[in-house]
């Protein structure tokens, strides 16, 4: 199976203890053996054997990782820090973006709305935030270690918006694409 990832990643000098964003949701057409999503990755450890949480932040007192929804912090669940080899004290980086997995025929599904980010109705994350080593929510704007990644550039793309939209939606990304034969 071929997996395509489109994301924006930051790595702070100190540990990262979480991330948040407002995500819009689409329901792209996928076949039985395909998969696609929009997600936040919390990453820790070496590239050969990393730990990932797909959303959340650490509890300052316990070190456990939490998943909450909305500004009211409706708790959905948590992962005890003991489950992880490399996330017990915090994460090395955080990523916001999408993922698409091709079906057995090698065709990748649409990501987000199915439109490239140059189009007005592409999928987005806005109000990107990360939780720094002192447990403060921070904007990734002006971050010297922001990098974007696009697998399958003929099928997907991502744009990071730091300045032009910032006053209305904070640091944001637009991403997605129609899928197809991406390799």
Per residue in 82-136, pLDDT (tens digit) is 888 888 888 888 999 999 999 999 999 999 999 999 866 899 999 898 998 999 9
Section 140-145 average pLDDT: 70
Q: Would you state the pLDDT for residue 11?
A: 81
Q: What's 107's DSSP letter?
A: P
Give, in order, the Cα–Cα distances in Å from 101 to each of 30, 113, 151, 152. 10, 16, 11, 11
pLDDT at 166 over 80: no
Strands 123-131 and 35-44: unpaired
Q: Which residue has the higher pLDDT, 115 or 50?
A: 115
Q: pTM of the full predicted structure? A: 0.86
């Amino acid at each position: 199976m071929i997996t395509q990832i489109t994301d924006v990643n930051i790595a702070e000098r100190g540990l990262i203890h979480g991330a948040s964003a407002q995500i819009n949701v689409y329901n792209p057409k996928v076949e039985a053996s395909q998969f696609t999503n929009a997600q936040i990755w919390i990453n820790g450890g070496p590239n050969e054997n990393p730990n990932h949480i797909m959303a959340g932040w650490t509890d300052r007192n316990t070190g456990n990782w939490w998943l909450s929804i909305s500004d009211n912090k409706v708790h959905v669940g948590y992962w005890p820090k003991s489950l992880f080899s490399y996330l017990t004290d915090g994460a090395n980086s955080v990523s916001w973006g999408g993922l698409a997995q091709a079906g057995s025929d090698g065709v990748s599904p649409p990501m987000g709305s199915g439109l490239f980010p140059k189009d007005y109705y592409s999928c987005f994350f806005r109000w990107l935030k990360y939780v720094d080593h002192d447990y403060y929510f921070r904007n990734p704007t002006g971050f010297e270690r922001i990098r974007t990644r696009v697998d399958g550039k003929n099928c997907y793309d991502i744009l990071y918006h730091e300045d032009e939209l910032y006053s209305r939606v904070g640091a944001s990304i637009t991403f997605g694409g129609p899928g197809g034969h991406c390799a």
